[in-house]
Structure 1
Amino acid sequence: MSEAGKHGIAMPVAFRTLDLPEPVLQGIEAAGFTHCTPIQELTLPLILQGKDVAGQAQTGTGKTAAFLIGCFTRLLRTDRMTSPGTPRALIVAPTRELTVQIHEDARLLGQFTPLSILAVYGGIDYHRQRDALRQKVDIVVGTPGRLIDYLRQRVFSLKAVQVLVIDEADRMFDMGFIKDIRYILRRLPPYHARQSFLFSATLGYREMELAYEFMNNPVKVSATPEQLTVAQVEEILYHVAREEKLPLLLGLLKRERGERILIFANTRRAAQWLADRLTLYGYQSQAITGDLDQRKRLKVMKAFKEGELPILVATDVASRGLHVEGVTHVINYDVPQDPEDYVHRIGRTARAGASGKAITLADEGFVLALPDIETLIGHKIPVEWPAEELFLKTAPPSRAPERGDRRRRRHRPHPS
């Protein structure tokens, strides 16, 4: 396996200088892009040469556009026609939210091409998706579970796939999808008969083992070989007792006045508890957790993306695929227990060259995870000691109590 991307390139490459089909260039320009991001600059020349690529890149780096541009180009330059139920490209993503986001990006970038694109995932009309999949569809974007469901029913076939994309491969492992991925990959044409791309925030042994097994001598590319965290993110760490976390968070929200804030909790119960508390204190906030109804999840995410909801509280699993520009602050209300989650979390801010702030509250329950996080990112997170006035200990605005309020007040300050 060869390696690329050991050194950054000073001047960004203009898309017009690349050998791309005119309909693809028109879509890129319609989306407002003129120059490549580092991951696009490193991967697109390799992709255009027909090589397989295993790319390390965080969210917000332009990796989705990189593999979509490569996919469109490959399909447009192949004369093969699409038959009913036999898509020519397959993109696999770990979550419904990421599937929806990739589908939206594909429709934007591919709007001047004749290629048809279908998203396949759980939580919405099963029969409508099944019927659409039986038609002529060039590109299918889907989650592993729903794809396997339709494969087992022989709704569609993978025998004609020319391009394979596995996005966020590390999350596939973390969420227990690797057996499903292997089931899907074994039903594709042999690796030398297709072009394959794998992208991941980290490219460790398990991700590269998958690449070796199912790809054709992939080129390993890293847009950030030495630094996993984004340089434009200002990281701050507060050590705080568990019962003081909410008062400190309230003080930080008052001080920071962020326009779009993403707060992470480690459990579904904690995320919902925190969103409820912030609402009591007059902050417009909602939580997305793994058990939230899919239609409501999409509605909440749309409100956050469009700026109608300033604060979103999320768990790591529920936030996958949440690609939102303009997130000013990421707040780790709980220290993540998996070091890679820290990288994923703070990568939600400072996207596309913007600046952002990542604030972590470390209490006695989760602080032991810090050394592993700092080992992974290669530096100590700067510590600040909060002044007493930063702890906002006022009671929430008075209102008529609801039946559940007294029960909630008897709970400890932060559920685990």
Structure 2
Amino acid sequence: MKKAHLTETRFSNLELSDSIIKSLKEAGFINCTPIQDKSLPLALRDKDVAGQAQTGTGKTASFLLATFQRLINDESEQIKNPRALILAPTRELAIQIHKDALVLGKYLNLKFALIYGGTDYQKQLDKLKTNVDIIIGTPGRIIDFYKQGAFTLENIQVTVMDEADRMFDLGFIKDIRFLLRRMPPPEKRLNLLFSATLSYKVTELAYEHMNNPVLIRIESEEVTSKAINQIAYCPANDQKIPLLLGLLKYHQPQRSIVFVNTKRCAERLDDYLEANGYKVAMLSGDVPQEKRQRLLNDFQENRVTLLIATDVAARGLHIPDVSHVFNYDLPQDVEDYVHRIGRTARFGASGEAISFICEEYAYSMPDIEDYIGEKVPVTSITPELLVEEVVKPQRKEPRERVVPHDKRAPQRPRQDRKPREFKPKSAEAAPSSAPENPPLPETP
């Protein structure tokens, strides 16, 4: 394993409490990454920060440590309502932030509430009604509880927006603004925004709802993990499955993610891999939340070592020891390529990113290379990489999407449906008085 790209700045030299330093040491964090080195000294002095850095480079620790320190600095009076709000675009990312918060805040007297949609409604609501310090969650469910009066935003001292570019992609910006406008003004709180990209829209959001933030950009050449070995193959469409099976056999990955663009492709690939002896988990956008968490836990605990995923899993998941990422389909959004391959080589661990430049998505590669500023080497497909005998899956019934009863459209009782009556618009349009079926002429 290669060492993570770290700076010479040590956490112990920053203005962090002894309790935080103790938890950092136990977690094995001694030196800062570049984004931590540049953002933490500012945030610890109550300066707003909008930070851009590649996924997997320590953004989460940056905003958690700054949030913790701000809250423990101001414990003069007991406040019954949350004092910090951390917003994430996806439930998976919210869950991961909460896990990291429990580790880094191990020795602090802070209470967390994890809030996201899809499950545990009453449990989360009950948690919010206790004296929590920090809410971590997704905007929709948080707004739902806020409108019920489960908590107030009047005492918020720290606001964090993580993966802000993804917030725009998923249409959450109206929700974000709804929450921000109900907090104390920006100058009365610490505002931290982190994102893999600081687009024009994200920067505009920062200046609108933050207090003169310092923009920090960690350039891609600083943080693109050179431990990721990027390669590509150019298979015909009918070679993609034999090639993937051959590469899995050749590389014997410790833990791998195969990214596809559509649910339909994920299901087809799932069937083929299982038919050829692989135990697979499949993650797509419409997988119910409880099942999704069970699949991710199985993957993290090595009960399943191969995950097929659409881009719902591309951001925010910190799953250790993913040795290989396969772009079975090249992403159509160049930024998604960066987020996908960022699932391997986390914090500098080595990894492989293997992409298929197939007939359908080949047009994406030039844009990807322009965006990352480098060429992805193309490797020729040798016969030994193609599995000759691919076991075809048995024909299955089409997978049916389960729609909850409460979301199904109501059906009108059949007896209530009246036949449509034809009414001519004018006398000219009226049917003639000629008989409907005129008699046939007599044969002589």
What is the TM-score normalised by the length of structure 1?
0.91
Structure 1 Cα separation of the partners of residues 86 and 224 of structure 2:
26
Structure 1 Cα separation of the partners of residues 178 and 380 of structure 2:
50
Give 2:209's aligned amino acid.
F
Matches within 5 A, 1:11-410: 11-84=7-80, 86-226=81-221, 229-396=224-391, 404=396
Larger Rg: 2
Stretches of structure 1 lacking an aligned partner (at least 5 in a row)? 1-8, 409-416
Structure 1 Cα separation of the partners of residues 205 and 71 of structure 2:
24
SS at match of 1:404: coil
Structure 2 Cα separation of the partners of residues 230 and 121 of structure 1:
31
Structure 2 Cα separation of the partners of residues 396 and 171 of structure 1:
39
Q: Deviations over 1:79-117 (max 9, x none)?
A: 354533x20000000011111111111011101000101
Give 2:67's aligned amino acid.
C
Report the counterpart of residue 412 of structure 1 in structure 2: none
Q: Deviations over 1:225-258 (max 9, x none)?
A: 5467422211111111111101111111111111
Structure 1 Cα separation of the partners of residues 379 and 78 of structure 2:
58
Q: Is the 8 A contact 2:6 2:31 kept in 1?
A: no
**How many residues matched?**
395
Q: Deviations over 1:170-223 (max 9, x none)?
A: 111111111111111111111000001111111111111111111111111123
CA RMSD between the two structures: 1.8
Give 2:65's aligned amino acid.
I
Q: Is the 8 A contact 1:57 1:63 kept in 2?
A: yes
Structure 2 Cα separation of the partners of residues 376 and 226 of structure 1:
12
Stretches of structure 2 lacking an aligned partner (at least 5 in a row)? 400-444
SS at match of 1:367: coil
Give 1:268's aligned amino acid.
K
Q: Which stretch of the first structure deviates more once superposed, 188-197 or 28-37?
A: 28-37
Give 2:128's aligned amino acid.
L
Q: Is the 8 A contact 1:229 1:343 kept in 2?
A: no
Q: Is the 8 A contact 1:92 1:141 kept in 2?
A: yes
Q: Deviations over 1:151-176 (max 9, x none)?
A: 22222111111001000011111111
Structure 2 Cα separation of the partners of residues 156 and 355 of structure 1:
44
Structure 2 Cα separation of the partners of residues 10 and 94 of structure 1:
27
Fraction of identical pairs, as percent: 50
